[in-house]
Structure 1
Amino acid sequence: MPRATVYRYVGGKSQLREAVLAGATARVADSIRSTIAALTGPERVAGAILAAVRAVRADPVAMAYLTATSPREVDRFLASNPRLADAATTLTGTDGEPVAGQWIVRVVLSLLFWPAADAATERALVERFVVPVFATT
């Protein structure tokens, strides 16, 4: 099928990209939810962040988007996205201050763009420098 026909059917290149990204986002969110279902408090914060990193790394669409997209677009569509920030606070159990969700998204993005040596190091970083911020939530 010609590209123009596909774009016409879905409403254009931007709408196609958003639909594909929405599907990847839903898969990632489902994976996070299943991982953190029984977690609360600090364990939920760390678990949700680390589950997000693992789920994005495992999703070929999400990883392709991150590796092929300019930093400006990543900021606009992910880091500064209020819906994603809301989802981050809900999944981590840190409902409250809106900027917290944006910060959580940025933590996940930083681990994706600049991974630590291994999963144990990433867990240690999150537990030491991220979880304490939410100790009172």
Structure 2
Amino acid sequence: MDSRRAPATGDWLIGRDRHAEAAERIYAAAAELMSRNGYDGFTIDALAAKVHCSPATIYRHAGGKTAIRDAVLSRQAERILESVRDAIAGLTGAERIVTATTVALQRMRTDPLAIIMRSMAPVPGEEWLTTSPVVTRLAAEMIGVENPDPLAAQWLIRTFLALWYWPMDDADTEDHMVRRFLGPPYTADAADSIG
């Protein structure tokens, strides 16, 4: 028998890269639980029961609740980022930012895992989302800057989160607002061309 292949016992912790496979299965199950129950309703015990292992195994392969949250968020962000990358290919400046914001908002609003982030709305003193390296990397790529600009990334993150948490009732008004304030400098001529 090939020693690199797991025997057909159903034991998902036997295989070529046991740790990586275990972590991926744990993250997939965690995403499903968080989507169903929200982050506050997510527990390590429920996750262990779902993947048929002990809580100690969860901690060994994926870490605690915070580490799992960050890993699930990273995977979700990467899927959304792929859509954004396709949409902004070849764009620069304000049009890149406006397009990236619009596409990312559309994806976030339709992504089943968005419930994870919505249930973890930042509260004063607990701003993990706005300081997350994953979210900061996404913002930097949306801006399209070669050298990191933490202040610009923070501004875009906070603007994006405000639009996402509190969407406008009218999509046309939201689009106008995004183009006006994230796009080129506002002038009377630009206002006439927008709407």
The bucket for the TM-score relative to the shorter chain is 0.7 to 0.9
Does residue 48 of structure 1 match 2:48?
no
What displacement does 1:119 show?
2.8
Does residue 68 of structure 1 match 2:135?
no
The runs of 5 or more residues in structure 2 that have no matched partner are 1-51, 186-195
Between 1 and 2, higher relative CO (CA 8 Å, sep ≥ 6) is seen in 1
Whether the 8 Å contact between 2:101 and 2:160 is mirrored in structure 1 is yes
Computing the radius of gyration over CA atoms, which structure comes out larger, 1 or 2?
Answer: 2
What displacement does 1:57 show?
1.3
Distance 2:53 2:134 in 1: 33
Q: TM-score, normalised by structure 1?
A: 0.79
Partner of 1:105: 157
Distance 1:79 1:111 in 2: 14
Identical columns (%): 34
1:71 is paired with a residue whose SS is: coil
Q: TM-score, normalised by structure 2?
A: 0.58
Q: Deviations over 1:64-122 (max 9, x none)?
A: 1222114238x623223355334313322255532011110111101111101233222
Distance 2:83 2:54 in 1: 32
Whether the 8 Å contact between 1:86 and 1:98 is mirrored in structure 2 is no
Partner of 1:92: 143
Distance 1:109 1:99 in 2: 15
2:123 is paired with a residue whose SS is: helix
Count of residues paired in the alignment: 132
Which segment is superposed worse, 104-113 or 117-126?
Answer: 117-126
What displacement does 1:26 show?
0.7
Whether the 8 Å contact between 2:77 and 2:138 is mirrored in structure 1 is no
Distance 2:87 2:146 in 1: 19
Higher helix share: 1
Does residue 125 of structure 1 match 2:169?
no
Amino acid at match of 2:80: V
Whether the 8 Å contact between 1:45 and 1:94 is mirrored in structure 2 is no
Distance 1:93 1:4 in 2: 41
Partner of 1:80: 131
The runs of 5 or more residues in structure 1 that have no matched partner are none
Distance 1:39 1:12, change over 3 A: same
Amino acid at match of 2:110: A
The two structures, once aligned, show a CA RMSD in angstroms of 2.6
Distance 1:50 1:115 in 2: 12
Amino acid at match of 2:116: Y
Whether the 8 Å contact between 2:130 and 2:158 is mirrored in structure 1 is yes
